[in-house]
């Protein structure tokens, strides 16, 4: 039971690795630097477009690709946009080429994607058959998924998880936000009515494992929860759970555009998704409400 993870040292990949090991898997992780192997983790060096260390594809139950330049790691200059796009599409292409060259077919290839596949909306809750929106971040998600589904000749199944805001206690948006509230302020962009679709990191990882093991799961799935939460209601729930008080600091759209440039569209927009298709696979969320998710993560900080 070997699983190959590209992007296995990041936020989601690290937690997913822990959970896979607990289930008895051996995890192959692709890294740019050679790291020390353990009983349950084997590291393989790769340089996208050039080489993958021998043995990475041996006896795989599946491949999970979590690679991707951070969408909000910097202003969207032309060069940054290119890095964001290429980091997602080229990794998928190179994994596909590696499998073809090795004449190997895997049971399943699972790729991350984003709920920003859909257009920003303050009224609609999207399901998987809804069309993609127009804009840079939507184009990234469309190409991300296209290059994943291009691996169908070397994968019996291809699954794409359109992921919302990942809530985690460490190295995440929530940790940064919790830190900012210590200074008695919480940022609200625009009017604060933008939808927030989120998912607890453990539920997300459990669904990756479900997708790995359930042969009926194929295609695209929304991996996000939205009980009509927006930025304003998120702050209210956070206040109640963390028993803290701070002043919502509203940042007008024109200010966020001056600071973040084109990337401000992520802050001033929002997407609500339905996760009904995910539930119809028999999956149950351990943290179905924002309150239960935040309460769990508060106890882990």
Name all domains of the chain by residue range, CATH numbers in brackets.
2-299 (3.40.50.720)
Three-class SS state of 101: helix
130, pLDDT greater than 90: yes
- Nearest Cα neighbor of 182 from 231, 242, 240, 246 is 246
- The overall pTM is greater than 0.75: yes
Q: How do residues 213-237 score in pLDDT, each as one tens digit? A: 999 999 999 999 998 899 999 989 9
Strand pairing report for 41-47 and 51-52: antiparallel
Write down the mean pLDDT value for the chain: 93
Whether the Cβ atoms of residue 166 and residue 198 lie closer than 8 Å to each other = yes
**Token pair listed for 82:** 């290119």
Other beta carbons within 10 Å of 22? 10
- Nearest Cα neighbor of 63 from 150, 159, 163 is 159
Task: List, in sequence order, the alpha helices (H) in 103-246.
Answer: 136-149, 173-181, 201-213, 231-242
Q: How do residues 83-107 score in pLDDT, each as one tens digit? A: 999 999 999 999 999 999 999 999 9
Q: DSSP state, 116?
A: G
- Calculate mean pLDDT across residues 136-162: 97
């Amino acid at each position: 039971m070997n699983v190959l993870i590209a992007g296995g040292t990041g936020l989601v990949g690290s937690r997913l690795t822990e959970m896979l090991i607990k289930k008895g898997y051996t995890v192959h992780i692709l890294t740019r630097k050679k790291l020390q192997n353990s009983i349950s983790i084997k590291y393989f060096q790769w340089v996208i477009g050039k080489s993958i260390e021998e043995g990475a594809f041996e006896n795989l139950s599946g491949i999970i690709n979590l690679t991707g330049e951070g969408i909000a790691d910097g202003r969207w200059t032309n060069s940054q946009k290119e890095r964001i796009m290429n980091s997602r599409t080229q990794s998928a292409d190179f994994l596909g080429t590696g499998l073809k060259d090795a004449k190997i077919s895997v049971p399943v290839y699972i790729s991350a994607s984003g709920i920003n596949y859909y257009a920003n909306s303050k009224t609609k809750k999207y399901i998987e058959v809804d069309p993609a929106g127009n804009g840079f971040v939507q184009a990234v998600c469309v190409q991300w998924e296209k290059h994943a589904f291009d691996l169908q000749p070397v994968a019996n199944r291809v699954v794409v998880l359109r992921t919302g805001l990942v809530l985690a206690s460490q190295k995440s948006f929530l940790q940064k936000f919790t830190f900012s509230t210590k200074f008695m302020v919480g940022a609200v962009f625009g009017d604060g009515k933008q939808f927030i679709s989120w998912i607890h990191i453990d539920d997300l990882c459990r669904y990756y494992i479900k997708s790995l093991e359930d042969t009926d799961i194929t295609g695209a799935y929304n991996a996000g929860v939205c009980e009509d939460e927006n930025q304003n209601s998120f702050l209210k729930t956070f206040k109640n759970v963390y028993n803290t008080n701070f002043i919502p600091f509203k940042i007008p759209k024109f200010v966020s555009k001056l600071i973040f440039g084109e990337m401000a569209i992520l802050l001033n927009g929002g997407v609500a998704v339905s996760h009904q298709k995910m539930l119809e696979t028999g999956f149950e969320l351990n943290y179905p409400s924002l309150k239960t998710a935040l309460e769990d993560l508060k106890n882990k900080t």
